[in-house]
Amino acid sequence: MTEPRGLPDESHHAPVTGPASPPVKGRAASVATRADEKPPMILISDELFASCDEVIILHGNQRYRLRRTRNNKLILYK
């Protein structure tokens, strides 16, 4: 499997340290973290979905379905 473009080896497993793009004027940054919070983990969708188009996410007692559409969009269902 090839590494995603623009990321050095294994960097997609490293936490994000700032927003992916500069904030738009008048809007907050898309990934804001406080000093006491861990930065979000990056998951590569191709690795997450592997050979299927749907994954089940267990959150507490709830099941969520994350589906990849034919147009390569992601939809989260409860």
pLDDT at 36 (0 to 100) = 84
pLDDT at 3 (0 to 100) = 46
Spans of the chain below 50 pLDDT: 1-19, 21
pLDDT at 53 (0 to 100) = 94
Domain 44-78 has CATH 2.130.10.10: no
Residues of the chain with CATH 2.10.70.10: 44-78
pLDDT at 34 (0 to 100) = 76
pLDDT at 35 (0 to 100) = 79
What are the C-alpha distances in Å from 32 to residues 7, 16, 18, 29, 60?
21, 10, 7, 6, 25
Integer Cα distance of 13 and 75 in angstroms: 23
pLDDT at 33 (0 to 100) = 64
